Structure 1
């Protein structure tokens, strides 16, 4: 009887330990990402030349979008780990931000590729919407397109009469507001359409810039840089598409490993949601020579500020001894 009563306690302690480990992995990971994003946004806000360039404005917009996406997903993860329940009316805004920002990322990548295309083929007669003082029109259009998707998704869903939107506490998960078959079909169709269109735009701009590189002999360096930038956008799109491989990896893990369902879900979330969103903006930011130089100066200044303090403490210890 004693051994039988110890099993539930052991299972509970293992479950709590697993939950603590997952939280301790996700939170520092997100904090490092947030610090890097704050540094890059500080560089944008402190130097006028970045605010006068459409490419950097779009990149700053992507940084803000990915930060909102990761922040909302981490909050949803923490609520799921803590089994926190609240009314659907408070859950929907968080799910809305997470879904809209997730769909917004491939649109931003396509727009950044088109911006490089416009910069190469129309350097002197750039269309008004692509100038730095008008680029906000394109950004607003991208945000509106991304917001339409969750609005339609939540509108076509069937409401459960047993659940009161204002008072019934539920776990804040996507399945709460989008669980019907028609919503699943709508999400798959829109996601495939989004990524096919974005992949076509990136491939089209890459091929056109590649052909232009063979024609131009005078400005071959800048055209080659633009071609590499578009190729990087294609890699970023592949990172975003990793999120849609979670059903495949989940089935493979279940077949070849004896994992719990929550462990499989955490593995997919960490490897195919967090890490790609973490790497995508950082790879692009640290690749840029101008940004990399300013980032290096910031960290160098921080290290120089720490070193005099350490030296001062050492000198005080020597004088007192």
Structure 2
């Protein structure tokens, strides 16, 4: 009995050590990126010129969705690493929130691409079509469309006989895939993801092609066309990375069948960083570095934060 107890305690300590070793390297950069995103959101709300320009309003919506998505993804990752099991209602609420914010990025990228297309191809009508009011309507439509998707998933989830369960405690870790309990939930999830991927990809690609055609036929303002082309190309890359999150769980399931536990944990951490975490961090870097208006204000906020931390540290050290 004493030997079995020692072995059990040793296995528990090894499990805790594995969680710490593989969770901390993921948690630290995620917290750093979250801080950068929050500062970027503060930057976009700090000046009236940023609050009253359509593309910056759309950027704020994109960053807000990415920030919430990153926070929820990190929460799911920590729950899975610690093997914490939730009840179906709590897990369902978290899964619906992450599903809601998951669609914000690709849909907002589509709107941002269309805005750049109008700005380049129809510059004289841009101020008429793209206003703060029309941008607000576009943002509301994006959130409403995502909410309808969540509502459809909730309706499909009600088909599952929860009353027949002995307990609402989940037998597995909380994950979006573990909440696809209805008869048609999995089919709807695949069909919706395919529809979103194809529709968003076609919209951004058509905007890119339209700008390229306009750039070849125009004789002036080549620099503006080049910037718009590069921006749309970045939107296309962001869209691909954002929608690559749909490949996360199929990859995890396939890897779990062919690797041992240690190898699975390591590979899962790498895939999580590349597919889930990295795409949500690119927006702040891309726009914070490329846009001159944002860059100066962002550097100011970052430097102020650094100065405040240094002053606080000196105050604690001094008697």
| TM-score, with structure 2 as normaliser | 0.85
- The answer to whether the 8 A contact 1:246-1:272 is kept is yes
Deviation at 1:206, TM superposition (A): 0.7
Deviation at 1:128, TM superposition (A): 5.5
- CA spacing shift, 1:132–1:302, aligned 2, 3 Å: same
Residue 289 of structure 1 aligns with which residue? 292
Distance 1:24 1:306 in 2: 22
Structure 2 spans left out of the alignment, 5+ residues = none
Is 2:160 the partner of 1:159? yes
Residue 34 of structure 1 aligns with which residue? 34
* Larger mean Cα displacement after TM superposition, 29-38 or 112-121: 29-38
Distance 1:94 1:230 in 2: 32
Larger Rg: 1
Larger relative contact order (Cα-Cα within 8 Å, sequence gap ≥ 6): 2
Once the two structures are superposed, what CA deviation does each residue of 1:181-205 show, in whole Å capped at 9, x if it has no partner?
5211111111011011111111111
* Larger mean Cα displacement after TM superposition, 116-125 or 204-213: 116-125
- The answer to whether the 8 A contact 1:154-1:178 is kept is no
What are the equivalent positions in structure 2 for 1:66-77 lying under 5 Å apart?
A: 66-77=66-77
Distance 2:97 2:105 in 1: 12
Deviation at 1:136, TM superposition (A): 0.9
- CA spacing shift, 1:132–1:177, aligned 2, 3 Å: same
CA RMSD of aligned residues (A): 3.1
Deviation at 1:23, TM superposition (A): 3.2
Residue 211 of structure 1 aligns with which residue? 213
Distance 1:308 1:99 in 2: 41
**SS of the residue aligned with 1:173?**
coil
Once the two structures are superposed, what CA deviation does each residue of 1:198-218 show, in whole Å capped at 9, x if it has no partner?
111111111110111112222
Aligned length: 314
Residue 232 of structure 2 aligns with which residue? 230
Structure 1 spans left out of the alignment, 5+ residues = none
Distance 1:109 1:298 in 2: 26
Residue 202 of structure 2 aligns with which residue? 200
- The answer to whether the 8 A contact 1:109-1:237 is kept is yes
- The answer to whether the 8 A contact 1:52-1:133 is kept is no
